[in-house]
Amino acid sequence: MKEQFRELYRYRDLLYMIVYRDIKVRYTQSVMGFLWAMLMPVLVFFSGVLVRYAYGLAAHKSLHTADLASVAVKSLPWAFWVSSIRFSCNSLIQNRNLVTKVYFPKEIFPIAAVFASLFDLFVASGALVVFLVTIRTGWSVNLLWIPLLLVAMVMVALGIGMIVSAASLFFRDVKFLVELLLTFGIFFTPVLYEVGMLGDKGKWLLLNPIAPILDGLSACITWHQSPDPAWFAYSFMFALVSFIGGFAFFKHLEPAFAESV
């Protein structure tokens, strides 16, 4: 596997070109331009505000700026996650001509899809920072957790992205299953709500490996606390295993790609 990673590194310039192409295609001749990067997070944010407001009415609690900040902080990485998996799933099928005619590490396509979505995340992060400054969220040393949490999320996206991209070549209905899971996954992930809003049973949602990452981001940005170390370790280990396992799964199926496209 070490040699396969070295080969991927040798094709880093091609990876850069594919990422640049995906970003350019996504925004070329687009009326909204880079505003598309913020559309989904904004929709998720307003959905979360409605959920928090309804919960507040039922529990006789008012909606605070911290609630708004928490939803905003978690909406952005969730949008990145959904975009990464969706574009990764179709990456090999959309590039079928290159898959069959030219030799290079084919995992470049799902990896490029994740990196292109990461670019969207960075674009939208500017608006998030302005929003957090406006509502005076403040800052603390716990912000240093952000890079580690984002690395964990990117590794999960890369691992799952490689799995679904390879599987979709052999079973074309995989993309429909992925769309279904992404559509309803938000209800089983604490994006629109906090785990504590569901009582003690809400802790079970943290078994979703994305949940502790989002919860950790909210903790260090909104509440100025460090992420729960046990749940962070769980998510990071899952991220590492999913990345290595996804890469191994992809390389195992790669010799049969040309026959299945």
Q: How far apart are CA 19 and CA 23, in angstroms?
A: 6
Rounded to two decimals, the pTM is 0.92
**Spatial separation of the C-alpha atoms in residues 1 and 22, rounded to whole Å:** 27
pLDDT at 54: 83
pLDDT tens profile 40-52: 888 888 888 888 8
Residue 59 has pLDDT above 90, yes or no: no
| Cα distances (angstroms) measured from residue 34 to each of 41, 118, 125, 150, 172 | 13, 13, 12, 21, 31
Q: Which two tokens stand for residue 106?
A: 């084919």
Average pLDDT over residues 93-97: 85
